[in-house]
Amino acid sequence: MTRYAAIAGWGKYLPQRVLTNTDLERMVATSDEWIRERTGIAERRLASEGECSSTLAVRAARQALQQADLPAFSLDLIILATSTPDHFFPATACLVQDALGAIHAGAFDLEAACSGFLYALTVGTQLIRGGLCENILVVATETLSRFVNWQDRSTCVLFGDGAGAAVLRATDRRRGLISSTLGAYGAGGELLILPAGGSARPATQQTLDGGQHFIHMKGNQIFRFAVRKMSEAALEVLEKAGLSLEELDLFVPHQANLRIIQAVGQRLNLPEERIFVNLQRYGNMSAATIPIALCEAAESGLLQEGHVVVASAFGAGLTWAGALLIWGRP
Ligand code: ACO
């Protein structure tokens, strides 16, 4: 009998603090009009003092576990996707394991930037389908606000903080991830980078003074790459699953820029009502974006039992990923 890995529960956490475009007008030379027209974003959430990537992840994970009706001690593994860990080490996944009391779970972090959740979902699904695990928590969490240069208008208006989680459980029902694709173009790494603080450029007074511990991005070059790769990834996972665009119920793209989403929608010839968009409220939360979008699509009834959903993402690396899921519990 074929084994699948259904999404048995999902959860999200958005910090309370809201930063609007009008707030940003008081911080850098920008305008609400520019941000809305060029990105579609109206506001984003920021972690407050005392919150960090692990605490956001724990809130999302608890909700997902509760919904899956699964005690944390029944988890076999925690895979945590982030580009903004609490520390280089220990892994943020281990901090989450401790906070949840998931005493039987292995735990590791996975770094694939905005594609991280789809990478983690693919790894987790394969570990269940291969028989190594029964229950896996996949959680994506980001506190990008801690790594943004709040004086750089070309990046600080784009990002937000949040976490999303999914509990994967083994089942013989054809549910969960059916096909996926993972890709990378390492030659484009310099286009989106946090240059210093790692082994290549350890922290010095000079790196601090030079703003090398903040996100640096060449946004317009990533834009074209994003449109191409997100479209191709969506088509590839449909083809692998033997399904057509007409059979797709909902497309959940990475939420970085409304113009990117619209351009992908046009390439795929998808009507607006079959494309999920929530970036106006949250901005780009990197790896956390897609699980939060899936949660909200399910909460609002857009995702129903048996629906075919395709998600695709791109991010630093450069990386990209696509996933086709059949929605529904084990
Ligand atoms: N307010 C006002 N003006 C601005 C702002 C701002 N916040 N930011 C940039 N500008 C100006 C620029 O200085 C430039 O001015 P100039 O023409 O006088 O030089 C002008 O606006 C146009 O700048 P562009 O960068 O060409 O603007 P573009 O239309 O490409 O939009 C944006 C920029 C929104 C960044 C877009 O390129 C984009 O979304 N790219 C994708 C980036 C992305 O998604 N990155 C995340 C990857 S995910 C991850 O891994 C974290």
pLDDT in tens, 108-152: 999 999 999 999 999 999 999 999 999 999 999 999 999 999 999
Specify the pLDDT at position 276.
98
pLDDT band at 1 (very low <50, low <70, confident <90, very high): confident
Cα 176 to Cα 11: distance, rounded to the nearest angstrom: 16
Ligand 1 mutation target, pool 154, 194, 285, 320, most atoms within 8 A of CB: 154
Q: Among 154, 152, 146, which Cα is nearest to 221's?
A: 154
Residue 9 is predicted with a pLDDT of 97
The alpha carbon of 39 and the centre of ligand 1 are apart by a number of angstroms equal to 8
Q: Is 257 touching ligand 1 by the criterion CB < 6 Å?
A: yes
Q: How many A from CA of 153 to the centre of ligand 1?
A: 8
Q: Answer whether the bond into residue 90 is a cis peptide, omega within 30°.
A: yes
pLDDT of residue 75: 98
CA distance 267 to 1: 38
Respond yes or no: is residue 257 known to be catalytic: no
**CA 34 – ligand 1 centroid, Å:** 10
How is 60-127 classified by DSSP, letter by letter?
Answer: HHHHHHHHHT--GGG-SEEEEE-SS-SSSSS-HHHHHHHHHT-TT-EEEEE--GGGHHHHHHHHHHHH
What is the 3-state composition of the chain as percent helix, strand, coil, each rounded to the nearest 5?
40, 25, 35
Cα–Cα–Cα angle for 5, 136, 104, nearest 5°? 140
Q: Residue 86 pLDDT > 90, yes or no?
A: yes
**Burial of residue 280, with CB atoms counted within 10 A of its CB: 0-12 exposed, 13-18 middle, 19 or more buried:** middle
Mutate to test the pocket of ligand 1, among 23, 26, 38 (most ligand atoms within 8 A of CB): 38
254 is catalytic: yes
Domains of the chain by start residue, with CATH: 4-172 (3.40.47.10), 178-326 (3.40.47.10)
User: Which member of 21, 135, 257, 284 is catalytic?
Assistant: 284
Q: Is the pLDDT of residue 62 over 90?
A: yes
Is residue 306 scored above 90 in pLDDT? yes
Q: Are 78 and 104 in contact (CB under 8 A)?
A: no
**Catalytic option among 52, 94, 114, 295:** 114
Q: Establish whether 94 is a catalytic residue.
A: no
